[in-house]
Amino acid sequence: MDGTAPQHIESYYATSAGPIRSWPQLDRDERCEVAVIGGGLTGVSTALNLVESGVDVVLLEAERVGWGASGRNGGQAQTGFGGEIEDLEKLVDSETARALWNMTVRGLDIITERCRRHRIDCDLKQGYLLAAAKARNMAAHAEWVERAARVYGYTQFQLLDRDAVRREVASERYHGGILDTGSLHLHPLKYCLGLAEAAQAAGARLYEASRVERVTCDSIPTIHLAQGVIRADRLVLACNAFPAPDAKEIGRRIIPVGTFICATEPMDESRAQTLIPHDIAVCDDRHVLDYFRLSADRRMLFGGRESVRNGAPANLEQSIRRRMLRVFPQLGDVAIDAVWGGQIALTRNRFPDIGRLGPDIYYAHGFSGHGLALSGVVGEILAAAIKGDQRGLDVFQRIPHRAFPGGSALRTPLAWLGLFWLKVKDLL
């Protein structure tokens, strides 16, 4: 790639990932069995699964591999979905709900397996706490722990009372919570780049700075770029929060939402261990939530704030710092080294939208904040479907999805009103 090639946005992840390799820009026509548009976790996971099964794959990324949310997120990979399990049970039958839940657990296993198999050093750690922001939330948490074991066979939840949570997080803010010993946290950009390296080593052809201008479908999908044309038997749209080319129908079913993170300066080991003694990831249970964890070099990585508007909010660093100090007032003397943000894709029901457009085009988006864990299993499912096994895809396609209201003119203002209402509910 030349000197005008796009770079990863400035973030703790980009500066701590070590030397980041570049893949070439597409400069010629190519033919392949499967083309994948999108170099995030879903795209590279799908490409890796396909090429390992003997399929000829080309992956196209408009910016850099891991440039979007896949390389900027909170690094928390947990069971479940962005939506509540009770809402899922209203949308699908009980057998489908169990199958979908099991897929989220499978997604965690995939991360562990791939890190071991491909020797991906991404600071992988275990443990996740869903912290109760209000005392009255504990009754629902207790019920879910019991139902998760009885109905879904998941026994790695532990219900914690207020005192037990204080032994996990040095904060007075929480009233209890659920400790999930099966969930994970990691350096997401290192993980995404490691998957891309594995896909390339297995035979996939990866191209960066290769923006797709349009897709046509005559006899086969044809992907048009400024630098060339790709003809493929099958096409996978793995664009998540970014508009998929010539796919307005599914684009109306998601809305991009900005979320923002800061990284403090490194702390000494004793201080960091005092804050989160067992080095777990933490997220609260509010609608507009806070999430945080320690990095490998003992920084506090603290995320919060959401926005449906383009760009970062004004006074972002001060805003994130205020949220962090509400949880950890003892960090008042710790400087912030970096602040960054990115867009996730929300669906109306907060469950991922996975499916196909006609016989030759597959898509996956709308992970609603849970893409780190789900993208692996979705990549596995898409690859299987392309190879002829539709069972996993059929399960996801049972989740009904609707477009956001308002059309192109009003959907963002209406989404802003919805986000504002959620903030109000958090205060009630």
Q: Name which of 57, 61, 71 is nearest 201 in CA terms.
A: 57
* Identity of residue 283: C
Angular region, 388: left φ>0, alpha ψ -120 to 50, beta rest = left
- Integer Cα distance of 416 and 327 in angstroms: 26
262: how many CB neighbours lie within 10 A of its CB? 27
Query: Which pLDDT band holds residue 382 (cuts at 50, 70, 90)?
Result: very high
Strand 177-185 and strand 255-264: pairing? unpaired
Least-confidence region, from 214-218, 244-248, 385-389: 244-248
The reported pTM is 0.94
- Integer Cα distance of 393 and 220 in angstroms: 21
pLDDT for 3 = 44
Query: Which pLDDT band holds residue 222 (cuts at 50, 70, 90)?
Result: very high
What's the start-to-end Cα distance of the chain, in Å? 52
> Among the residues of 236-287, which ranges form H helices?
248-251, 269-275
What tokens does 95 get?
């057998």
The stretch 78-105 carries a mean pLDDT of 95
- Integer Cα distance of 372 and 69 in angstroms: 9
Residue 258 dihedral angles phi and psi, to the nearest 5°: -80, 140
What tokens does 230 get?
């790709």
Query: Which pLDDT band holds residue 142 (cuts at 50, 70, 90)?
Result: very high
Query: Which pLDDT band holds residue 427 (cuts at 50, 70, 90)?
Result: low
pLDDT for 310 = 66
What tokens does 389 get?
């096994």
pLDDT digits (tens, 9 = 90+) for 11-23: 999 999 999 999 9
Would the pLDDT of 420 be above 70? Answer: no
pLDDT digits (tens, 9 = 90+) for 269-288: 999 999 999 999 999 998 77
pLDDT for 406 = 74
The stretch 283-307 carries a mean pLDDT of 90
What tokens does 149 get?
């074991």
* Identity of residue 196: A
Strand 57-60 and strand 205-207: pairing? parallel
pLDDT for 426 = 66
Would the pLDDT of 413 be above 90? Answer: no
12-72+189-253+349-411 CATH, one of 3.40.980.10, 3.50.50.60, 2.40.160.50, 1.10.8.80: 3.50.50.60
**Where are the domains positioned within the chain?**
12-72+189-253+349-411
* Identity of residue 11: S
pLDDT for 2 = 47
8 Å CB contact between 152 and 104: no
Place of tokens 């991906």: 120
Packing angle of the helix pair 94-117, 371-386 (nearest 10 deg): 100
pLDDT for 422 = 59
- Integer Cα distance of 313 and 41 in angstroms: 26
Query: Which pLDDT band holds residue 405 (cuts at 50, 70, 90)?
Result: confident
pLDDT digits (tens, 9 = 90+) for 154-185: 999 999 999 999 999 999 999 999 999 999 99
8 Å CB contact between 302 and 322: no
What tokens does 143 get?
């019920």
308 or 39, greater pLDDT: 39
Percent of the chain past pLDDT 90, that is, above it, reads 82
316 or 126, greater pLDDT: 126
The stretch 83-112 carries a mean pLDDT of 96
Q: For 374-421, give the secondary structure using H, E and C.
A: HHHHHHHHHHHHHCCCCHHHHHHCCCCCCCCCCHHHHHHHHHHHHHHH
